[in-house]
């Protein structure tokens, strides 16, 4: 089954909790703290795999979670790092953030890898908090919570040649004639419900990938006839073969030609400017020569190369494919989608400290360092809370709250956690 769209949820692994431990060993008086640091959580990584052709795996499994980091242990034992989760996607997949539609990565070549979400940092054990004045700390740091994202996946076929045309002009028949692809073929509109890919071999060492793009009718740019489902596959093609029904009246064939090019331009302007070869198909039906001559003359006046073919009998097809191979050697590869200047997509956005009064007795604090310090603190441990208070003083939070008029007992919200202000 060909699936070219999917929505998934990815979450990295949580960091493990640091250990609280005091060394107890014969003949070692006052062994001191020896709680080890925890392991970091695993990342979620996406990788492009040229052997995949569809996103069907992401419709059966929609949630991906990397391994959590292991807890620290006594004797300064470090916790085990969480296992990474690797998601394999077809080459040509575009990954976007479902919240705002922003581009995360465009997988354009086999083996390309990008970290989607990073695992949380492991918490420090109590051995890391020992100082000359704090010789036996009885607290450790909790693991950092993992990042989580909802993503939209969209597959755009990486075909060299796209076969376009209105329904029933013979696109699928042409694909079946020139490649090993076996699309469904019938004499009613919209026989083809999914794009078909085929490999065309011209001679030793010369080949290209061809795809038919069905469902393109007037209004396709607005989604009519499943237009959006297929127009995106045209974005990566370097050359179009525009198939027309040679048996149709000349004016009707030209109207069809203009109509489809208009839809391409309305969907994406540069698609209508892409190189096109025109194939007058169904020559086996013996269309009137005068009609053929008028249609061909009109198209050549516009600068298009025209080929008379029969996808059924194969007449003229080899010349068309040979010319397509020559054009491909001249045309450059369409560029991938523009990715933000900083491709490290999983990198956290630095949020600076902000303290504001939202109600007479309630304050709100935001900032990456502050929120991380709070969420990684064991708030049930009195000694850990005192250490957090000193940390907030160092970060300037307490001073700003005093300036805004905070008093003992006022509510302070830091991230998703609510605390009572104590000066």
Q: Tokens standing for 139?
A: 């607290």
What contacts 165, CB < 8 A, 6 or more positions away? 171, 216, 242, 243, 244, 256, 260
Same domain, 150 and 180: no
Parallel, antiparallel, or unpaired: how do β-strands 206-212 and 417-420 relate?
unpaired
Burial of 99 (0-12, 13-18, 19+ CB in 10 A): exposed
3-class DSSP assignment, residue 374: helix
For the segment 169-194, the average pLDDT, to the nearest whole number, is: 71
135: left (phi over 0), alpha (psi -120 to 50) or beta: alpha
Last residue of a domain, one of 112, 132, 155: 155
In angstroms, the CA 250 to CA 336 distance is 38
CATH number of the domain bearing residue 322 = 3.40.50.300
For the segment 47-70, the average pLDDT, to the nearest whole number, is: 92
What contacts 164, CB < 8 A, 6 or more positions away? 171, 213, 216, 234, 240, 241, 242, 243, 260, 264
Last residue of a domain, one of 120, 155, 190: 155
In angstroms, the CA 69 to CA 143 distance is 8
Same domain, 290 and 367: no
Same domain, 141 and 232: no
Same domain, 139 and 166: no
> Which range of residues forms the domain containing residue 98?
1-155
Give pLDDT tens digits for 72-131: 999 999 999 999 999 999 988 999 999 888 899 999 889 999 999 999 999 999 999 999
Same domain, 262 and 401: no
Residue of 150 and 92 predicted with greater confidence: 150
Q: What is the pLDDT of residue 170?
A: 87
Count of the separate structural domains present in the chain: 3
pTM for the structure as a whole: 0.73
């Amino acid at each position: 089954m060909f699936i070219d769209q999917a929505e998934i949820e990815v979450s990295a692994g949580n960091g493990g909790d640091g250990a609280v431990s005091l060394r107890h060993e014969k003949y070692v008086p006052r062994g001191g703290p020896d709680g080890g640091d925890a392991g970091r959580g695993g990342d979620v990584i996406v990788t492009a795999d040229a052997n995949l052709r569809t996103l069907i795996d992401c419709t059966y499994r929609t949630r991906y979670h990397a391994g959590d980091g292991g807890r620290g242990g006594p004797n300064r034992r470090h916790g085990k790092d969480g296992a990474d989760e690797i998601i394999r996607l077809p080459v040509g997949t575009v990954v976007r953030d479902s919240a705002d539609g922003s581009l995360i990565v465009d997988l354009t070549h086999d083996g390309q890898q990008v970290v989607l979400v990073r695992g949380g940092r492991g918490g420090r054990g109590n051995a890391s908090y020992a100082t000359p004045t704090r010789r036996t700390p009885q607290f450790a740091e909790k693991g950092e919570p993992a990042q989580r994202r909802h993503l939209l996946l969209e597959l755009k076929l990486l075909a060299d040649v796209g076969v376009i045309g209105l329904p029933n002009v013979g696109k699928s028949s042409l694909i079946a004639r020139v490649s090993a692809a076996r699309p469904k073929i019938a004499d009613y509109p919209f026989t083809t419900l999914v794009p078909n890919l085929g490999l065309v071999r011209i001679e030793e060492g010369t080949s290209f990938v061809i795809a038919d793009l069905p469902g393109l009718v007037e209004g396709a740019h607005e989604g009519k006839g499943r237009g959006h489902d297929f127009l995106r596959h045209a974005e990566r093609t370097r050359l179009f073969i525009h198939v027309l029904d040679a048996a149709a009246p000349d004016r009707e064939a030209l109207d069809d030609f203009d109509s489809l090019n208009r839809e391409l331009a309305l969907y994406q302007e540069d698609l209508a400017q892409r190189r096109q070869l025109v194939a007058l198909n169904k020559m086996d039906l013996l269309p009137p020569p005068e009609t053929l001559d008028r249609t061909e003359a009109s198209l050549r006046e516009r600068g298009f190369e025209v080929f008379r073919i029969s996808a059924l009998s194969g007449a003229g097809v080899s010349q068309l494919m040979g010319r397509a191979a020559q054009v491909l050697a001249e045309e450059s590869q369409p560029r991938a989608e523009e990715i933000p200047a900083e491709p490290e997509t999983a990198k956290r956005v630095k949020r600076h400290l902000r303290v504001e009064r939202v109600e007479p007795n309630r304050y709100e604090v935001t900032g990456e360092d502050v929120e991380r310090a709070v969420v990684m603190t064991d708030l049930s441990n009195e000694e850990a809370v005192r250490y957090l208070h000193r940390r907030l003083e160092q970060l300037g939070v307490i001073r700003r709250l005093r300036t805004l008029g905070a008093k003992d007992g006022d509510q302070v919200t830091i991230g998703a956690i609510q605390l009572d202000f104590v000066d």
